Amino acid sequence: MSDSETAKAQLILAVRQGGVTDASVLAAMESIPRPMFVPQPFQDRSFENVALPIGRHQTVSQPMVVGLMTQALELNDRMKVLEIGTGSGYQAAILARLCRRLYTMERHPSLLEEAESRFRELRLTNVTAVLGDGSKGWKEQAPFDRIMLTAAAIDIPAQLVDQLAIGGIMVLPVGLDDSDQRLIKLVKTPDGAETEDMGAVRFVPLLPGVEPE
């Protein structure tokens, strides 16, 4: 094995040890090359199980957290999924491997553009990416079977719960302060929603509006 193959195998092992046991999630993570999503100065750390900067004060999440959040969505290839916070596109690429169609929203034009070129390079033809404020969701495409937020909301956004199908699952970091955020799994029921606390996490904040560029 080459050094990078060894590093990649070690990363997948770390993700498994972190609690990601779903074989389809692990296979999807193996199929998406993380170095493609990490800027040049951090290339040699792209197979480490850590979050890394992607520019514009944003980060690509720790692979273990990407795995746990993906697994919590219980995806299959018939599902329509919404991701808020495209960022580098890494999480989006993994979701796209596991669902029928992925809609992803980003508020930074330059990050969105770079992510879209990676989707093209990987021939991920089932991804639709747009510039927009994801906290409002994407009404025209709703309802979604699954929704994932990769930026922390102060509270569970009601507009996103509205856009989730009954029986649908939403996974999101919630919390004001980045030292006190919880990962929440929400299941929408006919008369409300059930939530489960999946533990402490640290995400960049969900911000209003779109960045000018």
Q: Which residues are catalytic?
A: 61
Do 164 and 140 meet the contact criterion of CB atoms below 8 Å apart?
Answer: no
User: Angle 90-98/63-72 helices, nearest 10 degrees?
Assistant: 30
Q: How many residues bind ligand SAH (CB under 6 A)?
A: 24
Least gap, CB of 5 to ligand SAH (angstroms): 22
Element of type H or E holding 187: strand 181-189
Nearer to ligand SAH, 11 or 60 (CB): 60
Least gap, CB of 191 to ligand SAH (angstroms): 28
* CB-CB neighbours of 21 under 10 Å: 11
Interaction mask 144-173, ligand SAH, x per CB under 6 A: ------xx----------------------
d(CA 139, CA 152): 21
What's the order of all strands across the beta sheet hosting 164-174? Answer: 127-131, 101-106, 80-84, 144-149, 164-174, 181-189, 192-201
Nearer to ligand SAH, 84 or 127 (CB): 84
Nearer to ligand SAH, 26 or 60 (CB): 60
Binding site for ligand SAH (CB under 6 A): 54, 58-61, 84-85, 87-88, 90-91, 105-108, 111, 133-135, 150-151, 204, 206-207
